[in-house]
């Protein structure tokens, strides 16, 4: 794909689609055909290759003594989005029990849903390989963040769809995975050390509601490769303006149609 065609694709993505509301249909994400057993070790739920990821997260959110869900090395296929939400999920870490290169979670769905949705404050999603495929006509995501103090770090997030779409590797927004506005501004989110590849928009930040915004966002030390847009910012018509303290530093961008794309009249200053 030439630089010009990538730029045209990037413009189409940012103008037509990055702000489209994408909702997670109600359901439980898990490993197709897997058993229900989970292992609990002190403060950690351990999900093996035969167990359900969503069930492990739900188990953790119902037990105040558990703060971590570890996914053992293996290849996982999701049937629905994995949703981390509710007051019991505050501060929960979801991570690989081993090496991210050996912990691959694939989600293929022809809709605008994420593989992982962080809808609870203080969640960490770390050290996974996430592959998002399917042929959605709306904005599908690898990871969707709609809560404060969330960290998405040290993941590999790949698009496995070669068709021109509107998908995002990581989306930070003020609308949760059910399509509902967040109760407060989304603030204090950190995206760092991720390797995001092959999406129309690698990392996207978008406001979609009129009441709340995204602010105090750090996007640092990520590798963004072969995306239409490396990092994109947008405000839906009628939505609140993006907030202050958006910091984009130390990222590596290679082979993207556009490195950083800002849609709208005004986006707060950031360091590139």
Q: Is residue 270 assigned to a domain? A: no
**Dist. CA 247–CA 245, nearest whole Å:** 6
Which residue's entry shows tokens 């640092």?
220
Neighbours of 25 (CB within 10 A): 12
Q: Is residue 22 assigned to a domain? A: yes
Neighbours of 249 (CB within 10 A): 12
pLDDT at position 54 is 93
Closest CA to 222 of 161, 170, 164: 170
Q: Quote the pTM value.
A: 0.85
Q: Is residue 242 assigned to a domain? A: yes
Residue 264 has pLDDT above 70, yes or no: no
**How many structural domains is the chain composed of?**
1
**Dist. CA 242–CA 248, nearest whole Å:** 14
List, for residues 65-104, the tens digit of each pLDDT value.
999 999 999 999 999 999 999 999 999 999 999 999 999 9
pLDDT at position 37 is 52
- Domain, as residue range, for 197: 3-262
List, for residues 23-53, the tens digit of each pLDDT value.
333 333 443 334 445 788 889 999 986 458 9
Q: Is residue 223 assigned to a domain? A: yes
pLDDT at position 6 is 47
If you average pLDDT over every residue of the chain, what do you get? 84
Q: Is residue 271 assigned to a domain? A: no
Residue 9 has pLDDT above 90, yes or no: no
Q: Is residue 272 assigned to a domain? A: no
């Amino acid at each position: 794909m030439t630089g010009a065609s990538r730029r045209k694709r990037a413009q189409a993505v940012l103008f037509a689609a990055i702000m489209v509301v994408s909702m997670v249909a109600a359901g439980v994400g898990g490993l197709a055909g897997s058993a229900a057993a989970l292992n609990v070790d002190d403060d950690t739920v351990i999900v093996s290759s035969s167990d359900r990821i969503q069930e492990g997260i739900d188990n953790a959110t119902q037990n105040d003594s558990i703060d971590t869900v570890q996914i053992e090395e293996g290849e996982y296929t999701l049937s629905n989005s994995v949703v981390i939400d509710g007051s019991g999920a505050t501060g929960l870490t979801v991570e690989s029990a081993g090496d991210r290169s050996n912990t691959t979670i694939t989600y293929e769905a022809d809709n605008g849903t994420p593989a992982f949705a962080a809808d609870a404050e203080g969640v960490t999603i770390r050290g996974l390989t996430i592959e998002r495929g399917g042929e959605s006509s709306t904005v599908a995501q690898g990871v969707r963040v709609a809560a404060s103090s969330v960290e998405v770090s040290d993941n590999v997030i790949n698009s496995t769809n070669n068709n021109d779409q509107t998908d995002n590797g990581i989306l930070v927004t003020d609308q949760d995975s059910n399509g509902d506005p967040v109760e407060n501004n989304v603030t204090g989110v950190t995206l760092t050390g991720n390797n995001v590849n092959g999406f129309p928009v690698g990392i996207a930040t978008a406001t979609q509601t009129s009441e709340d915004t995204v602010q105090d966002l750090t996007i640092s030390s990520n590798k963004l490769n072969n995306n239409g847009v490396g990092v994109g910012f947008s405000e839906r018509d009628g939505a609140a303006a993006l907030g202050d303290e958006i910091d984009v530093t130390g990222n590596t961008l290679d082979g993207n149609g556009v490195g950083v794309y800002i849609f709208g009249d005004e986006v707060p200053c950031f360091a590139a």
